[in-house]
Amino acid sequence: MLGEGIIQGLVETARNFFGSYVEKERLVTVEYPEERLPLPEATRQFPFLLYDGSDAEKGLRCVACQICEKECPPRCIHIEKSKDKKPDFVGKPQAYPAVFNIDVSVCMSCQICVEVCPFDAIRMDTEFELSTSDRFGGLLWTKRELAKPNEYYQKIHPTEAAETDERRAKEAADAKAKAAAAAAAAAAKAAQAASAAATTPTAAAAPAAPGAASGEGAKGTSNGASTNGSSGNGSKPHEVKTVVKP
């Protein structure tokens, strides 16, 4: 009959109307500022910088390698490399960002910076209440606003953080072991060289040929500790030079 559907519809909406006062489960609204849903662990908003320990300046993991700056699709990251260096978590001297700015009004939360970072220094934050009255300065975050402790990371992304921490601990341990082994080898070599020198004094140019070994030895002494120079990457001769020069 004509009009029957309208009556059925009116009954349905009336049922919804009164039902919403009786059955609380009908109202799915979460009244946001007072009530909040727990965020999923994979939530991501904008990047932040991780630091170890309690001092944000000293413990910052970022070494200003600028990979994220280059990879960032909307180019929202701006990094200025420091002139000096400080030791990283394995004790190796590394540069640090003198300036690290992220313009979150440009950032598109793609997480590419996180994926390319070889130092686990940048991660995605879950903070989303970021309104500000200053749309230029207020949305340009500097190093000071970006730096957050590792404990915070462990809190917001527990699974990811545990995985990262485990890997870093292993890396540090490996580095230590390798350094110890290298130091032992160097010591053995030095002892051998010393004995060789003692036995054959004519070989004056001998230390120059195994430059790496002697360089390592020199660096090891100059830095006091014996844990560096172990990564064995391509930049070693360069490092040797810079350290030896002063």
Partner 1 sequence: MTLAGGVASGADQVFVLLKHWLVARTPGPLQALVSILLTIIPIIVVFPALFAVTTVLERKGLGRIQNRYGPNRVGPWGVFQPLADAVKSLTKEDIVPRTADHVVHYLAPLVLVGASFLAYAVLPIGRNMTAVDLDAGVLFFFAIGAATELAVFMAGWSSRNKYSLLGAMRAIAQMISYEIPLILSSVAVVMIAGTLSTAKIVEEQARYSDGLAHWYVFTPWGLAGFILFMIAAMAETNRSPFDLPEGESEIIAGYFIEYSGFKFALFFLAEYLEMFAVSGLGITLFLGGWSAPFSFLTWIPSWIWFFTKLLALIVAFIWVRGTLPRLRMDQLMNFAWKFMLPMTLVVIFAAAVWRFLPHGVAGSVAVGLVVRWLVCALVVAGPYVLLARGLERGRKIEKRTYRYAE
Q: Which residues bind partner 1 (CB under 8 A)?
A: 1-3, 6, 9-10, 12-14, 16-17, 19-21, 26-29, 31
Q: Which is nearer to partner 1, 8 or 111 (CB)?
A: 8
**β-pairing verdict for 147-149 and 47-51:** parallel
Q: Which is nearer to partner 1, 28 or 208 (CB)?
A: 28
- CB under 8 Å to 222, separation ≥6 — which residues? 243, 244
Q: Which is nearer to partner 1, 4 or 84 (CB)?
A: 4
> Residue 130 CB, nearest distance to partner 1 (Å)?
21
> Residue 5 CB, nearest distance to partner 1 (Å)?
9
> Residue 1 CB, nearest distance to partner 1 (Å)?
6
Tokens 């600028």 — which residue? 66
> Residue 10 CB, nearest distance to partner 1 (Å)?
5
Q: Which is nearer to partner 1, 14 or 181 (CB)?
A: 14
Q: Which is nearer to partner 1, 28 or 198 (CB)?
A: 28
> Residue 128 CB, nearest distance to partner 1 (Å)?
20
> Residue 4 CB, nearest distance to partner 1 (Å)?
9
Q: Which is nearer to partner 1, 22 or 198 (CB)?
A: 22
